[in-house]
Structure 1
Amino acid sequence: MSAPQQCRRISREEKTICSKSIKTQKLDQPVFAIYEDTFLDVVGKEPSITCVLERDYAFAHEAPVYIPEQDAVYFTSNVLVNKETKVKYTDVGKASRGKDGKWTYEKIATDVSMGNGAINYQSGILFCAQGHLADSEPGGLVVMDTNPPYATKTLIDGFHGRQFNSVNDIVTHTDGSIWFTDPTYGFQQDFRPKPVLPNLVYRFDPETADIRVVADGLGMPNGLCFSPDEKVVYITDTDHIHAGDFDPTRAGTIYAYDVVVRHGGQFLENRRVFAMTDATIPDGIKCDMQGNVYAGCADGVNVWSPGGKLIGKILVGSFCANFCFTKAGEIFVLSEEKAFVARIAQSTKGALLHYLGF
């Protein structure tokens, strides 16, 4: 079977011999790397990757959320520094697609404090606000309207009287609960106070205000998502990267946990390694409706089968912290100074948007 244009099969030598690895080769343009032929079913017969936005700073870093009725993606920048005050901040931006298919970008004036992960929530967007040093900006889970003046409301900003570290990424369950990670990156990057909690994963019920820890023992819990049937939760551990410190002997790993019910409460059991990336870390993570697992990595978006086999990559030539599914057969990829649209098979749909009714 021949591969479509903008696709490249990865040979056995490239998979197994270090000197032949695709990482040692310069890519002239973005490409779909085919590790297993099953990835061809994901990308379809006429896949393409196109850079749709570009700036001279890291405007496209995290929290991509697609709003179907606006045909727009909201996302946040990487950490920026005000040249005059030296205060650190992140932008919230909106990428809109016009009737001509071209994308435009605008900054949104909102008070989400150091926004990072985000998800569609009710009629708005639920952000992970990492917070600032001041007690008046503890961060937490913040809902933002998607229409001007982009008003916000905080759902929760701590664990029984203790402020979160720097809430990082988030996912919702169809039972209404909100699951999120809370590593110490904010303290390491000097915009949050000394932590008063371990690095943890939480489950929050907004109806009852029940907040509890569902996973610990991770170096840097980061991205998370549910399998299409919600029986498994995937959590990325980015312990490989601490602020200013890269250690390849630490975890750059996706862990899988079974979601079980005990005495009316959800628990995580049977932690196991699902995959370890060869591209530094797996950051933001999503599933499609077939159960394939996608993660933003140092070289783009890496894709594994439900059985943990690396089947392919969407290589954009630079780091991808996060991405989101938009319309059926489309992925919006953030890559710091650039944003890409990957068009794949129409049959490939994001599980999250499916469960949200889009």
Structure 2
Amino acid sequence: MTPTRRTLLGAAGGMLGTAALARGATAQSFPFAPNQRYPDPAVQVLDPSFAKYRIYSSTLEQVATGMRWAEGPAYFPEGGYLLCSDIPNNRIMKFDEKDNSFTVFRGPANYANGNARDRQGRLVTCEHSVTRRVTRTEKDGSVTVLADSFEGKRLNAPNDIVVRADETIWFTDPLFGINGEWEGSRAQPEQPTTNVYRIGTDGKLAAVITDLVNPNGLAFSPDEKKLYVVEWRGTPNRSIWSYDVNADGTVGNKTKLIDAADQGALDGFKVDRDGNLWCGWGSNGALEPEARDVGGRRVHQLRGKSEDLDGVMVFNPQGKPIGFIRLPERCANLTFGGPKNNRLYMTSSHSLYALYVEAHGAV
């Protein structure tokens, strides 16, 4: 039998639903086979303190594939499923743990990027191009617009989002979704700065951080007294900044917690109950200044090898790297899920990966 795209995807992922294949699943996918040896060598202990989070008999799984750029995972324990964005394909995908199906949850999805579950179990979403707004999907399926402008001007491109225990909603607003045509439509920014915003329980929008250049992922410490934010540009390397959260919802005491290596790229991340930061990691795309001979051509190659950088870097609360999970694709974002909140889901380029760990998500 001549292999078809469907049979190839089925062999590679083993868990793609027919709806995912039916609607634009034309992105490249990669054959993947779980490691047969325990402990899985993909889980690397960089510091002895990380060893307690590794499950000896747990291995990395590719649970879905066929996306173009996977982002924004959010887990819903009531239904036992995970939603994630496939941004260039303009859709939100659903992975159901009960039957391992992978189907289209919403499409078109206004180029959704970051997603989160609020305290009532509703989906909140960053629509980071065209509509350029933050929405909430109600239990009846209707959509409520929570924010689309600030001080009379349109938001830039809402990116990542988190819901605090007090039910305030925090999100980043860089330029990525309006910088080109790949993840939406090119547009001129109206905001003078790229901010981190807070939506109060009264619905009012406040800019809590205005001095970061393209803020990206964000998360709170387990006690929610600190806010961590990735700055994509503006420092020599990508960084995570730490802020103290004040009682009135403002932040202060800006401190650099993590400075990525000049080859590394911080993106989305989550915090576990012990305060460790589990960070999407990969090449930042920087090129070597000098071209090298490759097959008779002078080529400016990447600084660092993608295969050495792609994965999840884990930092302790003091910002020290303690563990690394190697992935065959660049990891943009991740979340904790599963019935016990100890299954790490990683949205990585074309695929969704999962790994059981001895850690639990802080929220």
Could you tell me the TM-score, scaled by structure 2's length? 0.76
* Structure 1 position 127, deviation (Å): 0.1
Q: Does 1:288 align with 2:272?
A: yes
Pick closer, same or farther for the CA change 1:209–1:145 going to 2, 3 Å.
closer
Secondary structure class of the residue paired with 2:60:
strand
Pick closer, same or farther for the CA change 1:318–1:6 going to 2, 3 Å.
farther
* Structure 1 position 146, deviation (Å): 6.7
**1:107 corresponds to:** 104
**1:214 corresponds to:** 208
Q: Distance in 2 between matches of 1:215 and 1:225?
A: 14
Contact 1:112/1:152, CA 8 A, preserved across alignment: no
Q: Distance in 2 between matches of 1:44 and 1:294?
A: 16
Letter in 2 for 1:131: S
Q: Distance in 1 between matches of 2:136 and 2:259?
A: 33
Letter in 2 for 1:160: E
**Alignment match of 1:253 (pick from 235, 239, 250):** 239
Secondary structure class of the residue paired with 1:48:
coil
* Structure 1 position 77, deviation (Å): 0.7
* Structure 1 position 209, deviation (Å): 2.4
* Structure 1 position 255, deviation (Å): 0.9
Question: What is the number of residues matched between the two proteins?
Answer: 292
Contact 1:219/1:238, CA 8 A, preserved across alignment: yes
Secondary structure class of the residue paired with 2:332:
coil
Pick closer, same or farther for the CA change 1:199–1:251 going to 2, 3 Å.
farther
Q: Distance in 2 between matches of 1:6 and 1:111?
A: 41
* Structure 1 position 45, deviation (Å): 3.1
Structure 2 unmatched runs, 5+: 1-36, 283-309
Secondary structure class of the residue paired with 1:155:
strand
Q: Distance in 2 between matches of 1:201 and 1:49?
A: 33
**1:50 corresponds to:** 61
Contact 2:39/2:56, CA 8 A, preserved across alignment: no
**Alignment match of 1:170 (pick from 161, 165, 173):** 161
Letter in 2 for 1:270: N
* Structure 1 position 238, deviation (Å): 1.6
Secondary structure class of the residue paired with 1:189:
coil
**Alignment match of 1:143 (pick from 136, 144, 165):** 136
Q: Distance in 2 between matches of 1:210 and 1:145?
A: 19
Where does 1:186-335 land on structure 2 (aligned, <5 Å)? 186-190=177-181, 191-197=185-191, 198-205=193-200, 207-239=201-233, 250-261=236-247, 265-278=248-261, 280-298=264-282, 299-327=310-338, 328=340, 329-335=342-348
Pick closer, same or farther for the CA change 1:189–1:118 going to 2, 3 Å.
same
Secondary structure class of the residue paired with 2:172:
strand
* Structure 1 position 50, deviation (Å): 1.0
Q: Distance in 2 between matches of 1:159 and 1:253?
A: 26
**2:144 corresponds to:** 153
**Alignment match of 1:126 (pick from 124, 129, 138):** 124
**1:83 corresponds to:** none
**1:68 corresponds to:** 77
* Structure 1 position 277, deviation (Å): 2.5
Q: Does 1:5 align with 2:16?
A: no
* Structure 1 position 183, deviation (Å): 0.4
**2:9 corresponds to:** none
Contact 2:179/2:187, CA 8 A, preserved across alignment: no
Contact 1:333/1:341, CA 8 A, preserved across alignment: yes
Secondary structure class of the residue paired with 2:213:
coil
**2:28 corresponds to:** none
Letter in 2 for 1:266: G
Q: Distance in 2 between matches of 1:92 and 1:280?
A: 27
Any runs of at least 4 consecutive aligned residues in structure 1 with deviations exceeding 3 A, and if so which? 109-112
Contact 1:7/1:34, CA 8 A, preserved across alignment: no
**2:305 corresponds to:** none
* Structure 1 position 111, deviation (Å): 5.3
Q: Deviations over 1:270-291 (max 9, x none)?
A: 1111112335321111100010
Letter in 2 for 1:97: E
**Alignment match of 1:179 (pick from 160, 166, 170):** 170
Q: Distance in 1 between matches of 2:133 and 2:333?
A: 20
* Structure 1 position 251, deviation (Å): 3.0
Could you tell me the TM-score, scaled by structure 1's length? 0.77
Where does 1:82-93 land on structure 2 (aligned, <5 Å)? 90-93=90-93
Letter in 1 for 2:314: V
RMSD over equivalenced CA pairs, Å:
2.0
Q: Distance in 1 between matches of 2:246 and 2:108?
A: 37
Contact 1:178/1:204, CA 8 A, preserved across alignment: yes
Contact 1:143/1:154, CA 8 A, preserved across alignment: yes
Q: Distance in 2 between matches of 1:53 and 1:234?
A: 29
* Structure 1 position 140, deviation (Å): 1.2
Letter in 2 for 1:73: L
Q: Distance in 1 between matches of 2:230 and 2:134?
A: 19
* Structure 1 position 210, deviation (Å): 2.2
Q: Distance in 1 between matches of 2:230 and 2:317?
A: 15
**2:51 corresponds to:** 40
Letter in 2 for 1:217: D
Q: Deviations over 1:95-115 (max 9, x none)?
A: 11235xxx2211123553110
